Chains A and B, each alone.
Chain A
Amino acid sequence: MGVMFLGRAVTGGTVNGDLIPEVPDLARMRQQRSSRLRGSMRERGVDALLLLGTGAVQYAAGAAAPIVDASRATLLRPVALVLADDPEPHLFTPHREAAKERVAADHVHPPLWVELDGQLADIATRLGRLVPGDATLAADEMPYPLRRALGDRVVAEGAPVLSAARLIKTPDELACLRAAQSINEAAMRTVQEALQPGLRQSELTGILLSEAFQLGAAGVAVDAIWQVMPERRSDGPWAFHGDVAYPTPSSDQILREGDVIWVDSGILYEGYASDFGRTWLVGRDPDENQHEHFARWVAVMQAVLDEIRPGATGGDLCRAARKADPLSAAEGGKPWLEQFYLVHGLGLDSAEMPLLGTDLGEEFDDSFVLEPGMTFELEPVIWTEGIGGYRSEDLVVVTDDAWAPLSDYTYAPYEGPGRAETAR
């Protein structure tokens, strides 16, 4: 009762009939994900699903591997195998200890080196033992060594099977996402307090991660961005799409008084990513133009939030955003970045389906129908050549009635209706 978010009353409480728990039940989460995944397999006639992508393996088997860069996550990847008639996933992993309490002991196997050429016969033998020749096999990726190991065996596209399951989050997944977001926000509070002219971008990252690790983060999803924004697009890097160049990776660049920085970061909790985005000023308060930008951003957010409910379409959200900010349209643009989206999903990957407002086009946006359990990271951007821009992000989930916020952070130093006044 009485919970407000960006000046809007939050009504939705349940997601597919369930409340989001305060603390995720990880065992239940794994069971429900397994059941969703196997349901999706049965719908598509897939008997065995081989998963290679980091997010895909986590969906099937939990966050059972260290958090590493793409080279390590690819060459030394754990692999999951899900069988439609077995609720327990098989995990082939070099990280046996990390799989403890996440995967049934008799389903944890030595690694399958699907990215390396050394053990092709081993891959074929061990997969053959679990997946009979007449079973329908699908895989999310198919690197050369795996393809060779499987010989002429037909393998279906596994990505659609997986994305259908992942699109709708279970209550425990939502609790994980909220926990990740909450850790990120608490760490950002410390960073924002420390922010002052003379600090390096990398020092802000150091403060952020120092706090986040102590608060329970398992690792970094995305290198934190503290991009100093220009007032004109042409004062920033050249951009293919003609819009303002964003994001640019951080360095040891020193921040100066009056810099407007677009802050963006993501950490991981039980495999789930947070996504924190705000506009900050270094050592200064916003001027009138900047406040006006924020007011326009709030109006776009409110218009989009007002559309979010089961049955609405992605197109409804994008049209509402455009309509709420005629000034962007007058400048020939839209209130979000040309190269990105108005909305992206958030889960085990820091930007996953749905992506709305992209160059997939209006037809795609209109065909995308909102359902309870979808997560939406909303990231409108207001830009005026000569003044610069305002960008922040918030995370909501589509509930049975409308939506509920999963993020909860002040917009200071900008003044407006403020953040959620939720009592968690």
Chain B
Amino acid sequence: MSRPGLAALPEGGRADFAAIRADRRRRLLDVMAAADLDVLILGRPGDIAFAAGVRPLFTSGSRPYSVGCVVVRDGGRVHVLADHDDGVPAEIAHDQIIGRSWNPRIASARTARIPGLAGARRIGSAGTSTSAATLLATLAPAAEVVDARPLVQAARATKSVAEVAVIETACSLAEAGLAAMAQELRPGVTTRRLTARYSERLGQLGVTVVPDGPVAWRAAGGLCGGLDGRPLAEGELVSLSPSVTYGGYDATLARTLVVGGSPTAATGKLRDRAVHSLSEVVTACVPGATGAELMRRWADAGEPAFAAPLAHGVGLGIEEPIIGIGLGADEVLTEGMVLAVQGIVRGVHDNAVGGWHHREMIQVTAAGPRLLTRPHPRAADAAATTTSSPGAT
């Protein structure tokens, strides 16, 4: 078999994924030890990827919580549900692969063979469902089962230097896709054509997975419009929101571009508001800052709240903390977190102007927020560097 390449980075490439996986396992075993857990059950794809490093087949949409990975603290062994060993890292031996089954009885018998599960005193489960609860009650009847979501979230939240490097590569790929769309952007083009161009470009770069919804939509259509086949008009705003999954890690950014050239006075005003308000929030992303402070920064800039997170964690998919949309006021930023921070401002002449959407990825460091995404020459952030003189607003 040919070796998997670029998009399959966990098995090769320029990052030391074996070291990344070992570090992630250590973080997970540390939180298990601190919480006195003998066994940790994981069912959400991001959690499973964190613990096991398996390369999953992407399917869109949610799926019900079920036992997909079992970590046994004694010996630090990770058992994972899979049909075969393609995409399963070498450190997971074949006897740690639990074959999938459609039959709950067979699934239960296979899971029962995991050493250390039956005798566990305390089991953490990062999610719950009737089937998972029944399985645990059958296989480890004496165990106390606790909600392990906060522990797993804590282990995932602080990214290693190596993880951040992979995320930055993902950002570069998303930016390359953005550039391809921007080149295509002229009056008469459709959001469908822009999306097509994005897929094509990513395919050339070795990437197939776009995790974060539509990559292009008409800014007048609201927060996150669907694709359509109507030509974009001169002067219209289009939200380009490229996302990529690379080596399991996500990049997600957003830029707003004006179709066919330079912004009018009204769109320029909108752009400056967006850039200013977002930079207020980004600047506040330092260790110790709370979710409430980020929200206050946005409000103090004079912008109303919008129906999407102001900031959320990014790693193997999106992660907590989720700040904004009525959530996360008490969350505290810590060094090593990677966040997507976004702002959406709506124009006064809504239908004529639309909204300006802008999203950056940042790493929270002791020295302040570090941008992982770069400016695009035709978007708001580039404009910001040239219009930062007083009176530009």
Contacts and interface: CB of A to CB of B under 8 A. Distances in A.
Given A70-B63, A254-B2, A359-B101, A249 B227 contact: no
A95 B224 contact: yes
A416 interface: no
A66 B214 contact: yes
B84 A253 contact: no
Given A250-B208, A361-B103, A71 B46 contact: yes
A248 interface: yes
Given A70-B44, A251-B4, A143 B65 contact: yes
Contacts of A207: 200, 203
Nearest to B98: A240
Contact of B128 (A142, A219, A247): A142
Contact of B203 (A55, A98, A119, A202): A202
B292 interface: no
Contacts of B44: 70-71, 74
Contacts of B320: 75, 116
B84 A220 contact: no
Contact of A69 (B82, B317, B319): B317
A128 interface: no
Contacts of B327: 113, 116, 118-119
A222 B59 contact: yes
Nearest to B59: A222
A245 B227 contact: no
B322 to A, nearest CB: 6
A248 B1 CA distance: 11
Interface in B243-281: 245, 250
Contacts of A142: 128-130
A246 B7 CA distance: 18
Interface string A54-94: 11000000000011111111111100000000000000001
A321 interface: no
Contacts of B94: 238, 240
Interface stretch (B26-34, B191-199, B372-380): B191-199
Chain B CB count within 10 A is highest, among A71, A140, A237, for: A71
Contact of B211 (A69, A222, A237, A239): A69
Interface stretch (B50-58, B230-238, B296-304): B50-58
A53 B8 contact: no
Nearest to B327: A118
A72 B44 CA distance: 11
B71 interface: no
Interface stretch (A17-25, A33-41, A208-216): A208-216
Given A70-B61, A219-B60, A203 B203 contact: yes
A422 to B, nearest CB: 26
B329 to A, nearest CB: 8
Contact of A235 (B1, B59, B65): B1
A69 B106 contact: no
Nearest to A72: B318
B80 to A, nearest CB: 11
B62 A240 contact: no
Contacts, number: 267
A220 B210 contact: yes
Nearest to B224: A66
B336 interface: no
Contacts of A144: 127-128, 147, 149
Given A142-B128, A157-B130, A249-B56, A203 B204 contact: yes
Contacts of A54: 60-62
Nearest to B61: A54
A350 interface: yes
A205 interface: yes
Given A202-B203, A237-B84, A358-B102, A97 B60 contact: no
A191 to B, nearest CB: 11
Contacts of A213: 192, 195-196, 199, 227
A141 interface: yes
A360 B102 contact: yes
A421 B128 CA distance: 49
B206 A202 contact: yes
Given A70-B61, A221-B60, A97 B222 contact: yes
B116 to A, nearest CB: 20
A119 B229 CA distance: 39
Nearest to B306: A94
A319 interface: no
Contact of A252 (B1, B6, B211, B245): B6
Chain B CB count within 10 A is highest, among A52, A53, A214, for: A214
B307 interface: yes
Chain A CB count within 10 A is highest, among B147, B212, B226, B329, for: B226
B193 A214 contact: yes
Contacts of B106: 359
Interface string A138-177: 0011111001000000000100000000000000000000
A326 interface: no
A52 B62 contact: yes
Given A116-B327, A223-B57, A251-B8, A245 B203 contact: no
Interface in A224-269: 224-225, 228, 230, 235-241, 245-254, 268
B62 A206 contact: no
Contact of B317 (A72, A77, A238, A358): A72
Given A97-B225, A116-B320, A213-B192, A236 B128 contact: no
B85 A238 contact: yes
Contacts of B199: 205-206, 208-210, 213
B211 A71 contact: yes
B83 A339 contact: yes
A355 interface: yes
A419 interface: no
Given A143-B127, A147-B128, A69 B245 contact: yes
A68 B5 contact: no
B69 to A, nearest CB: 14
Interface of A: 52-55, 66-77, 94-98, 110-111, 113, 116, 118-119, 122, 140-144, 147, 157, 200-211, 213-214, 216, 218-225, 228, 230, 235-241, 245-254, 268, 339, 341, 349-350, 355, 358-361
Given A223-B209, A228-B1, 11 more contacts: A70-B62, A72-B317, A98-B222, A209-B199, A214-B196, A219-B60, A221-B61, A236-B1, A237-B1, A249-B57, A252-B7
28 contacts: A53-B61, A53-B62, A54-B60, A54-B62, A66-B226, A67-B213, A69-B60, A70-B46, A70-B59, A95-B224, A98-B224, A144-B127, A202-B205, A202-B206, A203-B204, A211-B196, A214-B196, A222-B59, A222-B60, A238-B94, A240-B94, A245-B85, A248-B86, A249-B57, A252-B4, A339-B100, A359-B106, A361-B103
Closest 8 CB pairs of A and B: A206-B203, A71-B317, A252-B206, A54-B61, A97-B222, A66-B213, A240-B99, A245-B84
Interface of B: 1-8, 44-46, 55-65, 82-87, 94, 97-103, 106, 127-130, 147, 149, 192-193, 195-197, 199-214, 221-227, 229, 245, 250, 307-309, 316-320, 322, 325-329
